[in-house]
Structure 1
Amino acid sequence: MGFRLLFFVVFLMVLELYAFQAVKTIVKDKWFLVGYSVLSLAILIYIVYGFFSFDRSVGQTKHTMFTMGLMLLVYVPKIVLAIVLLGEDIFRVGAGAVNYFVENDNESFFNSRRKFVSQIGLGLAAIPFLSLLYGVTIGKYNYKVIKQRIFFPDLPDAFDGFTITQISDVHSGSFDNPEKINYAIDLVNEQNSDLILFTGDIVNTHAKEMHPWIETFNRIKKPEYGKFSVLGNHDYGEYVSWPSEAEKSQNFKEIKELYGQIGFSLLLNEHTFIEKENDRIAIVGVENWGHNFKKAGDLNKASQALDEKEFKILMSHDPSHWDYEVKNHEKNFNLTLSGHTHGMQFGIEIPGYFKWSLAQYVYAQWAGLYEHLGRYVYVNRGFGFHAYPGRVGIMPEITVIELKKGDKVA
């Protein structure tokens, strides 16, 4: 811990040094520079204290989220600025070496910083600063309804045109704006889907996080074919230290009960059938199974007595489950619905043209629709937010999927 703290502080101080040099190159007023230095030092102390006073028995709080947001807001732009000035330093060293050893100019080895380079650096740094500021003020509640039509040759005839609304990763402990959450619930209801599925992470850690929001989420209308859910990795209380196993188990019991308290039937490694006219499809729900997270999901148990010809929709919180177990499973799961990644809450999306996030370097399937040999997984970008209290480029999502009979993908 001591070495990590030292490295962390030294890294931030280097960023502060470069940022100060850029500001000093442009602004000459002494008192402005003093004020800038005092403010920067105060923010640095606050962030360092916040991170290294983290209480693992409590877990994430509004304060820790604010600290993370402040750190990103302040230091991501300064990283950009430092990279620009580091490039200038490399050039200055090279030019100084030429002057000293080739030109025999012994008077000035290291030329002063150029004002226009600092201006360019500050201009570039303003891009992530404004983006992150937008993310924590507006982006985190900028809900998007994303509609996806998927074609299946083996879809039972009665389910042609059947609609499903999916939500995922609520993380209710992060919410701070009831008006925005009510607006999102209204959006869910406006879709008038035949079925609503919730793919896990109702809280960050503790069941009590959801208590202020139970009435709000009970406003989600139950459609004709019901509301079903599964657990996510955060629902197991794995990321804090507990006084006893009994308290951890009690919290887990209460979290499972939360889903019922908002009207969702929780599927724990089991399946149920939805019948329409003379046809039916299976809704399969597994507990969390993640390649790098808790592996409580049991796909074989959940699909016991189902055969490969029955049309199946699987709810599995972590999309790595699809990649490692589901897509090649002999039972043939036609459609898997996942969440978990949040699209890292930061990225760039131009619908239909371009999609990028750091999440793609961790997960092969991280946002949207993916296909393998006629089997599909849809990864919801998440309803809430976690750790970083904002969203940039990757907006909170309410998904509406329409099942269609046929061979075409649209």
Structure 2
Amino acid sequence: MLRWFFFFIFVVIVEVYSYQAFRAVTKVKWFLLSYQLISLAIDIYIIYQFTQFDRSVGQTKMTLFTLGLLLITFLPKIIITLFMLLEDIGRILYGSGRYISGNKAGGFLPERRKFISLVALGIAAIPFASLAYGMKWGKYKFRVINQPIGFPDLPEAFDGFKILQISDVHSGSFDNEDKIRYAIDLINEQQADLCLFTGDIVNTHAKEMFPWIEIFNGIKKFEYGKFAVLGNHDYGEYVEWKDPRDKVANFEAIKELYGRIGHKLLLNEHRFIEKGGQRIALVGVENWGVNFKQAGDLNKASQGLSEKDFKVLMSHDPSHWEAEVKRDHRHFQLTLSGHTHGFQFGIEIPGWIKWSPVQYVYKQWAGLYEHLGRYVYVNRGFGFHAYPGRVGIWPEITVLELKKI
């Protein structure tokens, strides 16, 4: 109950300051009244939707939309509030100085300056427009990233071998069949030898994928196969199950989903990929994360492999690489992960800047990283979750080319 009280106080403060910014810019009554009514309607809608959240169901398209609406309306207002608070601090200091000096003419506080409100509204318009773009177009702005990686111990037969990686499909969030078909066409256009899917086929429930099975079955056959591992969302652990047996049944159904779209699911095991009389080991572990489910068993998955074997490891959460893999004595040359989504928000300008809030949580959060000749590639994700959009960190299809150096 106390948290709702503090939330209410927060909303009131943000709304009051935001309204003051608009009022400082314009005195048109119909505009100000319309702004108040629209803000009130949005606040009521968001609060109502949060009270209706069912933990036995988890995320739905409605909750995704609600969270998006919350971000798109309140983040700009929080920015406005910060500007107005700073202005108030300045007004109080100025008024206090005048009062102490004995100059009480014109009242204690000076009037708000229109310029400050204009600056606040202008800056707040940037995240508003960005988040709106991300919800409408950004979440399906698929791009193909080609990433060559060189290894001195790569078997000669695999020089130029191409691996296509997708990750974090989160099919329960999809709402546009044409865009998903377009993404599958992009996958099929790539001249890759092997297809790897590094987990999170759903948000929670196996049924989320049912409408999309036929579309994902459109992924072409790859000469050296299609393989997958589980992600943290595939275990159904983010909802409250009324019957534990339902959770078990859902988990089994999710594991079957990978097979239903033509991928061999690796559960703490490995397979050899053979080419030209030589081979590399494809190792797949269940989810293992520092802050998430730790079902992955690297020892079991690597049983029988030696340091000399060239190994490609699929492990959904890149914190596994940081915590265990990169220093493992068996020398895992390449690890493929996902999980972070790049936070679905950030700035990437190749050669200039690469930033996202998620980098303060994960050392490896998007793209290629190296430690003593061992690499991890973190896919930015195919789908989206929580915030129903993407800003600056676009959905990704990766083609990794192995090179002999």
Distance 2:31 2:299 in 1: 66
Question: How many Å apart are 1:350 and its aligned residue?
Answer: 0.4
Aligned equivalents of 1:32, 1:120: Cα separation in 2? 19
Shift of 1:106: 5.3
Query: Partner residue of 1:274?
Result: 273
Alignment of 1:286-325 (within 5 A): 286-325=285-324
Residue 249 of structure 1 is matched in structure 2 by: 248
| Per-residue Cα deviation, 1:87-131 (whole angstroms, up to 9, x for no partner) | 111111111111111243254211111111111111101100000
1:390 aligned partner: 389
CA contact 1:152–1:403 (8 Å) conserved in 2: yes
Aligned to 2:236: 237
Alignment deviations for residues 212-260 of structure 1 (CA, whole Å, 9 cap, x no partner): 0000000111110000000000000000001111100000000000000
Kindly provide the amino acid, as one letter, of the partner of residue 387 in structure 1: A
Is 2:85 the counterpart of 1:86?
yes
CA drift at 1:31 = 2.5
Q: Does 1:23 align with 2:28?
A: no
Equivalents in 2 of 1:155, 1:276: separation in Å? 12
One-letter amino acid of the counterpart of residue 287, structure 2 = N
| SS of residue paired to 1:223 | coil
Amino acid across the alignment from 2:7: F
Q: Tell me, what secondary structure is at the counterpart of 2:289? A: coil
- Look up the SS of the partner of 2:185 in the other structure: helix
Letter in 1 for 2:310: F
Secondary structure at the aligned position of 1:371 is classed as strand
The alignment partner of 1:282 has SS state of strand
Alignment correspondent of 2:34: 35
How many positions carry a matched residue from both structures?
Answer: 405
Q: TM-score, with normalisation over the residues of structure 1?
A: 0.98
Report sequence identity in percent. 67
For residue 294 of structure 1, give the secondary structure of its aligned residue in structure 2: strand
Contact 1:9 1:48 in 2 (8 A): no
Query: What amino acid is aligned across from residue 136 of structure 2 in structure 1?
Result: T
Structural mapping, 1:27-106, within 5 Å: 27-105=26-104
The residue type paired with residue 365 of structure 2 is W
Give the Cα separation in 2 of the matches to 1:279 and 1:85. Answer: 67
Q: CA deviation at 1:83?
A: 1.2
* In structure 2, C-alpha distance between the alignment counterparts of 1:354 and 1:298, rounded to whole Å: 36
Distance, in Å, in 2 between the alignment partners of 1:340 and 1:262 is 20
Offset, 1:288: 0.2
Q: Is the 8 A contact 1:141 1:180 kept in 2?
A: yes
**2:219 & 2:76 partners in 1: Cα distance?**
40
Q: Which residue of 1 aligns with 2:366?
A: 367
Q: 270-279 vs 9-18, which deviates more?
A: 9-18
SS at 1:377 equivalent: strand
The one-letter amino acid of 1:216's match is: I
Name the counterpart of 2:137.
138
Distance 2:220 2:89 in 1: 61
**Is contact 1:100–1:106 with CA below 8 Å preserved after alignment?**
no
Give the Cα separation in 2 of the matches to 1:336 and 1:235. Answer: 20
1:327 alignment partner, SS class: helix
Task: State the SS of the aligned residue for 2:255.
Answer: helix
- Cα RMSD of the aligned pairs, angstroms, is 0.9
- Match of 2:36, as an amino acid? S
How far does residue 268 in structure 1 lie from its aligned partner after superposition? Answer: 0.1
Q: Deviations over 1:164-188 (max 9, x none)?
A: 0100000000000000000000001
Q: How far did residue 361 of structure 1 move? A: 0.6
